[in-house]
Amino acid sequence: MSTPWFPMYPTDFLVSTATMTPIQGWSYTQLLMYAWTNGGIPDDREACSILTRCPLSERDWAIIRGRFEPMAEPLAKPMASLVNPRMERERVKVEQRHNERSESGRRGADARWSGKNGSVNGSGNGSANGSANGEPMATTTTTTTTDIKTPVAPFGKGGGRLRRADLKKAQQADPNWVPF
């Protein structure tokens, strides 16, 4: 099981990458995400350059490669032969939490719908769309309107290209405004 997210501890990450160059830091981040999704990364500088969309020099690769170690049990995937030890410890924790919560949900559903705990005819404590006594619940819908206007970009009518004059206008209107 691989969840679409992984735990990220910003302080730990920033401290561990403080001495990396921007290319090394970006590549390391990209490779961590690839490793989470694919179970590891290839032990190949060229392949990792392609995965990260960055030209990794031998020095860059040596620094990044030092953060990974060979898999204890290589997968059948040729594109995954190195793992990050910290990420693998986090993977185990995520899988344990997922399994515990799944089991807890299963037990809760069994208790509610299996006829145990004093329920009648296996109906739990009501219907899925009703209250505890089995009566249908009333529903209401509320609509709210406001006078808030949609924000408009401080440049170019209808979007368009950012021009130097538009930038000056935006900065005069809001000195904290910075284009992305």
Is 17 contained in some domain? yes
CB 37 within 8 A of CB 53: no
Does the pLDDT value for residue 127 go beyond 80?
no
Determine if the pTM surpasses 0.75. no
Is 48 contained in some domain? yes
| Number of domains the chain is built from | 1
Angle at 9 between CA 7 and CA 10, to 5 degrees: 130
* Diameter over CA atoms, the chain: 74
Is 66 contained in some domain? yes
Is 16 contained in some domain? yes
Angle at 127 between CA 126 and CA 128, to 5 degrees: 125
Is 3 contained in some domain? no
CB 32 within 8 A of CB 64: no
| Per-residue confidence (pLDDT) for residue 147, from 0 to 100 | 64
Is 43 contained in some domain? yes
Which domain does 17 fall in, by range?
10-85
Q: Which has the closest alpha carbon to 47: 56, 37, 39?
A: 56
Q: Which residue has the higher pLDDT, 42 or 141?
A: 42
Is 73 contained in some domain? yes
Is 37 contained in some domain? yes
